[in-house]
């Protein structure tokens, strides 16, 4: 079955919905999503969305930009960062006018709280002066992503956007640098659908399910990355994965940085506030890569708690906070601690460990969401990306907390507006490739026809464990080589997997088998890029190359699909406007 729309958006999280809300009802716009839009992973974002509003203390978009550049370990493109930070106040007010219910100050202004890495200089005219934490994160209790998702979805409904919920997109159709649509499986019926469009945007999220401990929903399987990669497009900076320092022990469920923004303290088994050793100025509100490394260092040196399963953790201590703050400003995360670990946060420390959280790399785009065909700036006609699947690059080697939701709304909006301009300029409906749907048909028939082979689950488990062990917070050449060899083995075993369900309707066996292929192929790119980058920068910490190397590695990695197992790698310069790289200390 073939459908035609002016615009197809794949993914119904914050970026996809914000883009869809920009498309006038005079154009036909469809949003395709693996899950119902209100189950998109944006709903898991808790602590806030940042903007230099200055509602509680003086703030400035320039200070926000400096923090983001420094937080990125100077790998973020400074021109793109300036666009995002300057646009942030307007983006927040616009969300408010759309109906998003922010928490409020007593005066009725949007409430703001502290978050890691967000600071202001004590001398406002000297960015190099001593800096202290600033209240920059706008929030809705600890359910900010959830209410953002509902607000944007309601505005899309008002705008007559058509939703195709529970459609699993498997192919991006690009020929001669022109995008013409996508191919999807309707999960309910198992039928194949081709969607032809003048413009396509990917807002497909991340790949956190490559790792065993992750805050990502089960849908975070890197589908968008691999569809772009298989269509001949590059991926940028895939070696940079952020581990959020506070995931619930064993489970990886996110415990928002908002808990530390409200005064929570990280403590080791001796009761020591250990972050004073690693970041003496901002302590527990240091950037996430630094806090995650500090936690692992405490555990390695024997100062972690030992769990019943042999794994280790540290405590997030909220017991000194007013119970009213805990229950009113942090109801979701404290509820998680009670429900899943049986811990009472008002009287006990919450067991936490770092959890794979956010990929800083992705499909390279410009500041208007237009996807790049190569590392020279050439664009793909009619193809856009926004959100976690895209790399603008505003996060560089490490993303600051609350910059993710800001990324969604700023670049989702800009991408939507760019699509409208593209349509107004007379964009025509491009022809579909004659091979549209062939890969998906072949994949489905092979999986259903195979009677003997290995089940997907053990392969997925082994992948997630090797990534956790060898491509986690700390890495080295030996471990990454071990991981790459293992992934090569798993990709060979994957060729002979077998599924039990041979039916059509709601065949989750089939979907998970295809997702596993995406996980394996994405992991192959991630580890190859990590092995190639012989330095430590942000979320990429090489113990055999512990120092940042600006002489050789102040550049973005680009990876293309090539013959054989290994991707082809090349590079792109980092855009530097105002701030030269310096040693990153807090």
- Chain segment 458-511, per-residue pLDDT in tens: 999 999 999 999 999 999 999 999 999 999 999 999 999 999 999 999 999 999
Is 135 a member of any domain?
Answer: no
> CB–CB of 165/193 below 8 Å?
no
- Chain segment 332-391, per-residue pLDDT in tens: 888 999 999 999 999 999 999 999 999 999 999 999 999 999 999 999 999 999 999 999
- Chain segment 191-218, per-residue pLDDT in tens: 999 999 999 999 999 999 999 999 999 9
pLDDT, average across residues 277-305: 94
How high is the mean pLDDT of the chain?
Answer: 95
Number of structural domains in the chain: 1
Looking at residue 274, which CATH number applies to its domain? Answer: 3.90.700.10
Q: For Cα atoms 76, 79, 84, give the angle at the middle one, nearest 5 degrees.
A: 80
User: What secondary structure does DSSP assign to 384-408, as a single string?
Assistant: EE-GGGEE-SSSTTSPPTTHHHHHH
Is 332 a member of any domain?
Answer: yes
Confidence of residue 20 (pLDDT cuts 50, 70, 90): very high
Is 266 a member of any domain?
Answer: yes
pLDDT exceeds cutoff 90 at 299: yes
Q: Is 113 known to be catalytic?
A: no
Bridge partners, 381 (sequence order): 178
- Chain segment 220-241, per-residue pLDDT in tens: 999 999 999 999 999 999 999 9
CB-side neighbour CA atoms (13 Å) of 183: 22
Write down the pLDDT at residue 563.
87
For residues 115 and 106, what is the distance between their CA atoms, to the nearest angstrom? Answer: 21
Confidence of residue 327 (pLDDT cuts 50, 70, 90): confident
Percent of the chain clearing pLDDT 90 (strictly above)? 91
Q: Lowest-confidence range among 54-63, 320-329, 445-454, 541-550?
A: 320-329
- Chain segment 523-532, per-residue pLDDT in tens: 999 999 999 9
- Backbone angles phi and psi of 417, in degrees to 5: -65, -40
Which segments of 45-168 does DSSP mark as H helices, in order? 61-71, 78-98, 144-158
Residue closest to 396 by CA, chosen among 80, 53, 108: 80
For residues 581 and 573, what is the distance between their CA atoms, to the nearest angstrom? Answer: 14
For residues 337 and 352, what is the distance between their CA atoms, to the nearest angstrom? Answer: 10
Q: Exposed (0-12), middle (13-18) or buried (19+): which is 384, by Cβ within 10 Å? A: buried
For residues 486 and 297, what is the distance between their CA atoms, to the nearest angstrom? Answer: 26
- Chain segment 25-58, per-residue pLDDT in tens: 999 999 999 999 999 999 989 889 999 999 999 9
Is 157 a member of any domain?
Answer: no
Write down the pLDDT at residue 495.
96
Confidence of residue 13 (pLDDT cuts 50, 70, 90): very high
For residue 108, the 8-state DSSP code is S
Q: Domain range holding 334? A: 248-354
> CB–CB of 360/241 below 8 Å?
yes
Question: Any idea of the CA torsion for 265, 45, 94, 365, to the nearest 10 degrees?
Answer: 110
Confidence of residue 293 (pLDDT cuts 50, 70, 90): very high
Write down the pLDDT at residue 123.
83
- Chain segment 550-585, per-residue pLDDT in tens: 999 999 999 999 988 899 999 999 999 999 999 998
pLDDT exceeds cutoff 80 at 251: yes
Is 48 a member of any domain?
Answer: no
Write down the pLDDT at residue 309.
85
Is 319 a member of any domain?
Answer: yes
Give the global pTM: 0.95
- Chain segment 111-147, per-residue pLDDT in tens: 999 998 999 998 887 767 788 999 999 999 999 999 9
Is 364 a member of any domain?
Answer: no
pLDDT, average across residues 528-546: 98
Write down the pLDDT at residue 61.
97
Percent of the chain clearing pLDDT 70 (strictly above)? 100
The single residue of 113, 288, 399, 460 carrying the catalytic annotation is 288
Is 400 a member of any domain?
Answer: no
For residues 180 and 8, what is the distance between their CA atoms, to the nearest angstrom? Answer: 10
Q: How many Cβ atoms are within 10 Å of 582's Cβ, its own excluded? A: 10
Q: How many helices (H) and strands (E) does the chain have?
A: 16, 23
């Amino acid at each position: 079955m073939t459908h035609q729309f002016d615009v197809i958006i794949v993914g119904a999280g914050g970026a996809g919905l914000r883009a869809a809300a920009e498309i006038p009802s005079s154009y036909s716009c469809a949003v395709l999503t693996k899950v119902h839009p209100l189950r998109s992973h944006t709903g898991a974002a808790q602590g806030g969305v940042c903007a230099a509003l200055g509602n509680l203390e003086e703030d400035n978009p320039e200070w926000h930009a400096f923090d983001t550049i420094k937080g990125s370990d100077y790998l973020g493109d400074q021109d793109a960062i300036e666009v995002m930070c300057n646009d942030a106040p307007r983006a927040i007010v616009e969300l408010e006018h759309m109906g998003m219910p922010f928490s409020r100050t007593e005066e009725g202004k949007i409430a703001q709280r502290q978050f890691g890495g967000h600071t202001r200089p004590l001398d406002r005219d000297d960015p190099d002066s001593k800096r202290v934490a600033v209240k920059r994160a706008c929030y809705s209790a600890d359910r900010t992503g959830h209410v953002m998702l509902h607000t944007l979805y309601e505005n899309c409904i008002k705008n007559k956007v058509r939703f195709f919920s529970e459609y699993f997109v498997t192919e991006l159709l690009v020929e001669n640098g022109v995008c013409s649509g996508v191919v999807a499986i309707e999960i309910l019926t198992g039928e194949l659908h081709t969607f032809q469009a003048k413009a396509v945007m990917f807002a497909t999220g991340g790949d956190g399910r490559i790792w065993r401990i992750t805050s990502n929903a089960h849908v975070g399987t890197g589908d968008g990355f691999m569809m772009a990669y298989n269509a001949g497009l590059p991926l940028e900076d895939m070696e940079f994965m952020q581990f959020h320092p506070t995931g619930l022990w064993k489970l990886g469920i996110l415990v928002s940085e908002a808990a530390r923004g409200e005064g929570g303290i990280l403590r080791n088994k001796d009761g020591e506030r250990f972050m004073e050793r690693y970041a003496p100025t901002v302590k527990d509100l240091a950037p996430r890569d630094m806090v995650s490394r500090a936690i692992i260092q405490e555990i390695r040196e024997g100062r972690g708690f030992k769990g019943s399963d042999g794994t280790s953790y540290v405590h997030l201590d909220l017991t000194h906070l007013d119970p009213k703050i805990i229950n009113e400003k942090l109801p979701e995360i404290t509820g998680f601690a009670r429900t899943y670990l049986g811990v009472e946060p008002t009287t006990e420390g919450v067991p936490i460990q770092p959890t794979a959280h956010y990929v800083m790399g992705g499909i390279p785009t410009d500041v208007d969401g237009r996807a790049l065909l190569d590392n020279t700036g050439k664009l793909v006609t009619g193809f856009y990306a926004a959100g976690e699947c895209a790399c603008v690059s505003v996060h560089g080697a490490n993303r600051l907390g609350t910059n993710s939701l800001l990324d969604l709304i700023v670049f989702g909006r800009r991408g939507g507006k760019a699509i409208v301009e593209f349509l107004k300029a007379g964009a025509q409906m491009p022809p579909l490739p004659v091979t549209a749907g062939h890969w998906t048909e072949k994949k489905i028939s092979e999986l259903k026809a195979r009677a003997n082979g290995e089940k997907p689950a053990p392969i997925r488990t082994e992948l997630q464990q090797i990534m956790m062990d060898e491509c986690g917070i700390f890495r080295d050449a030996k471990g990454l080589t071990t991981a790459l060899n293992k992934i090569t083995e798993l990709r060979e075993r994957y060729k002979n997997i077998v599924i039990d369900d041979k039916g059509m309707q709601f065949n989750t066996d089939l979907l998970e088998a295809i997702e596993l292929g995406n996980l394996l192929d994405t992991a192959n790119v991630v580890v190859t890029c990590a092995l190639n980058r012989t330095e430590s920068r942000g979320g990429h910490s090489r113990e055999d190359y512990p120092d940042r190397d600006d002489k050789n590695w102040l550049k973005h990695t680009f990876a293309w699909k090539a013959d054989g197992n290994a991707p082809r790698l090349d590079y792109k310069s980092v855009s530097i406007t105002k701030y030269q790289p310096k040693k990153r200390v807090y």
